[in-house]
Amino acid sequence: QVQLAESGGGSAQAGGSLRLSCAAAGLRGRDSYMGWFRQPPGKEREGVALVHYGHTFTRYADSVNGRFTISQDNAKNMVYLQMNDLKPEDTGIYYCAASVGGRGWLLSPLEYNYWGQGTQVTVSS
């Protein structure tokens, strides 16, 4: 069974940085994609970044490209999201998710079948 747990959310000023972490269990030996998604207040969940787990392929939403970086530490079963130059529109609940057997490279919530509980990120101007 795949289990995901996020940590590292919090508050930041615009222009500041935060780093999110996702502890993943149950993915070893399975071809999967790990993604970060967010849900701004009153809006639908949207894709932020993904990585092909154990590989180098990554993809970013246009809104975060150049500011956010997704990385992984396979030995520790961890995925990270480094968020720099934060903007108030980055505010939302951030979720770590895994796509096992789906089209995870599409960065669509519909293709991800395992989810963490979410962590709040609030950016003030």
7-17 residue pLDDT tens: 999 999 999 99
What is the reported pLDDT for 53?
Answer: 94
Of 109, 24, 121, the C-alpha closest to 61 is 109
Q: Report whether pLDDT(77) > 90.
A: yes
| Separation of CA 21 from chain center | 8
Sign, Cα dihedral of 86, 87, 93, 97: negative
Structure tokens at 103: 């089209």
Q: Using CA atoms, how far apart are residues 61 and 124, in angstroms rounded to an integer? A: 21
Structure tokens at 99: 């796509």
Q: Report whether pLDDT(117) > 90.
A: yes
* pLDDT tens-digit series, residues 28-74: 888 999 999 999 999 999 999 999 999 999 999 999 999 999 999 99
1-5, 25-29, 31-35: segment of lowest average pLDDT? 25-29
Residues with Cβ within 8 Å of 8's Cβ and at least 6 positions away in sequence, in order, are 18, 19, 20, 21, 119
What is the reported pLDDT for 28?
Answer: 85
- Confidence band (pLDDT; 50, 70, 90) for 102? confident
What is the reported pLDDT for 75?
Answer: 93
